[in-house]
Amino acid sequence: MYDLFLLDSLPRQQATMAPHTLNGQKLWLKRAAKRNSRWVYAPLKLLAVWLKLDALKPVPNIGGEESILIEANRIETLRKAGVAVPTILAKTPQALLLADAGTPEQPAVTLLEKIKSTNDAAQIDMILALSIEALNSVHRRDCYLSEAFARNILITDDKAVFIDFETDPGQVHAPVDCMVRDWYCFIFLLYGKLYKSPAQYERLTPALVEGLKNAKQDVRERFCETLPKLLHLRRIPFKFFGSDGRKLSVTLQSLAALNQRL
């Protein structure tokens, strides 16, 4: 049933990722996307060399059929390790058909949406603790994610589900650096997106401090080793470089405060 649905729907879908419904069940069809130019990753690669930070080395998105194969393999590997990831219902070299992470009664929403849905401090703390513990749990299983951004973490009822595995950081980084990279992805997006939301922003640093204290020892030590190097970027006046620059400036200030508490 799912295989036929995938083969029938794929030629008619233009978007890389789109929802579908089959017999009342919500599904997601993800098709192969175009490959990113390697030149896109050049600035980050140079930055990693300049700061001597291996964890910042970019992980190129190969695109095409290879990215679909990588994602399918990574989802199965993580699933077998006990990590909450989407269920693959059907696959071809060009696409994956995935089950929705939520239910009609408890729809799955991104971590960012969930945090912004409330101004209650206790509720925010609970959501952050849930997602951070889920991240630490991935690492305790000697696994890592691909891009641990808040948009790639779905919150459904009482658990976090991780999505989007088109890349394999293990092809570029040592395992501990893959895990440190997860932390930086997680932290950068949340600080950048929440700095204009005071109720959420003020809860973020305490939650991160607690989460990093509970992280795997080698991951915590490598993170604490790399963070001071990253803070050298504060010498660059990013706040004058538009909205993205302001987000980066605020994030670096927040990371400096985080560094003092670790």
C-alpha distance from residue 4 to each of 8, 10, 96, 97, 138 (Å):
6, 10, 12, 11, 33
**Model confidence pLDDT, tens digit, residues 30-56:** 999 876 545 444 445 556 666 777 777
Residue 171 pLDDT more than 90? yes
Of residues 62 and 83, which shows the higher confidence score? 83
What is the mean pLDDT of the segment spanning 184-190? 92
List, for residues 110-147, the tens digit of each pLDDT value.
999 999 999 999 999 999 999 999 999 999 999 999 99
Predicted confidence at residue 149, as pLDDT, reads 92
Q: How confident is the model at residue 243 (pLDDT cuts 50, 70, 90)?
A: confident
Query: What pLDDT shows up at residue 56?
Result: 77
Measure the CA dihedral 215/221/224/230, to 10°: -110
> Which of 147 and 60 is assigned the larger pLDDT?
147
Mean pLDDT over the full length of the chain? 90
Between 85-89, 182-186, 246-250, the lowest mean confidence (pLDDT) is in: 246-250
pLDDT bin (cut points 50, 70, 90) of residue 104 is confident
Cα distance between residue 74 and residue 78, in whole Å: 6
Beta strands in the chain (DSSP E): 17-22, 25-31, 88-92, 95-99, 109-110, 153-156, 159-162
Mean pLDDT of 188-211: 95
Task: Please tell me the distance from the alpha carbon of residue 36 to that of residue 151, in angstroms, as a whole number.
Answer: 20
